[in-house]
Amino acid sequence: MSAAEALMAAGAAGIQLGIEGGDLVLTASVAPPSDVIDLLSRHKSEIVRLLRPDNADPGVTGRPRRFIWHGDRHPEPEAEHLIPRTGVGLLTGPSGCGKNFIALDLGRAIASRKPFFGTVLAAEGAAVFLLSHGKAHGFGTRTAALGEPDPLPLGGVRLDDVLGPRAICGALPADALDRIAETLANQRVRMQLFYDAPLRLAAIDSLELSGLLPRDESGAREFIARLGAVAEELGVFVLVVCQKPESGMDRRIWAAMATEADLVLEVQHRVRAVRRRLVLTAGAFAAPRLLGTFHLQTVTVGEDSSGRPITSCVVLAKQERRASSRFQVRMRRLGMWFDAGPPTAAR
């Protein structure tokens, strides 16, 4: 056995180890097993070197080294269950606010363990995007703009190929969600085969252009419920990208979907403003709050056959710092944006 295996055996036996100078100190509530003691004795010098602080000599005190065993995750920073393991969420906002770039940034965070608006997500794996007409074109350019050195488990599928080209005109097949479920099941196998990554996120971008938008409130609730059943069966989280209407029936349909969803992310964008806000307005495992602000930066990813630059955008996010309670109360009284949700007074 190695010194690391001896340390694991000691931990399993309830033995706490430390060093004092060049000595190995054992602490236990009961007498340790003799075989563990023999194992520690054989590897004493190696264990002392492992437990000694970096670049320290015997007799020099310092902070003990922390061990993270192979296969364990680093505890810092703490992962957050912002995205439920299964369920349905909405990513909403006005037209042209950058929702599809936020969805891609979320997929990149899940695929690479990079922070999403300063938050390391507990969800880790692959992401698949079901792209409506117009969104599928340029998906490769958007992923290239991320600038990742290694290929990430991110996939794009044209919804026209899943639902048929007439779906955009409202001729939605009766088995539309069954086709989506079958497509996601195939993508789950593909991601596991090529990337050895479980499928964690499936994004539908966007609801209006795909022909999937429900026609009334009851249809909206049924749509979310059926998507939830698909998500539960496949063990994925389904994110629906859609606009937030201002009024009328479309607004009531949106409200019905938002009420049934497990997570609602809203992009708030004022006209002619450069920076936008990403707000968690409802969440099953996370408190509603302002996640942060962002702007879209143009990135050149190459040139076309005529030598003209091919560009896309990436999300440059700034995490929101938590304000003190006194500051929050004052901002409430002033009627300004201070936390998650819209302002308490007129904009």
pLDDT, one tens digit per residue, over 220-236 is 999 999 999 999 999 99
pLDDT, one tens digit per residue, over 81-115 is 788 889 999 999 998 899 999 999 999 999 998 99
CA–CA gap between residue 226 and residue 201 (Å, rounded):
17
> In this model, does residue 57 exceed pLDDT 50?
no
User: What are the tokens at 265?
Assistant: 């992310």
Confidence grade of residue 339 (pLDDT, cut at 50, 70, 90): very low
- For residues 156-182, give the mean pLDDT: 81
The CATH architecture of the domain made up of 87-315 is: 3-Layer(aba) Sandwich (3.40)
Q: What is the percent of the chain with per-residue pLDDT over 70, rounded to a whole number?
A: 78
Confidence grade of residue 270 (pLDDT, cut at 50, 70, 90): confident
- Domains of the chain, by residue range, sit at 1-72, 87-315
For residues 39 and 3, is the Cβ–Cβ distance under 8 A? no
pLDDT, one tens digit per residue, over 17-40 is 776 666 677 777 777 788 888 887
> In this model, does residue 71 exceed pLDDT 60?
no
Specify the higher pLDDT residue, 345 or 183: 183
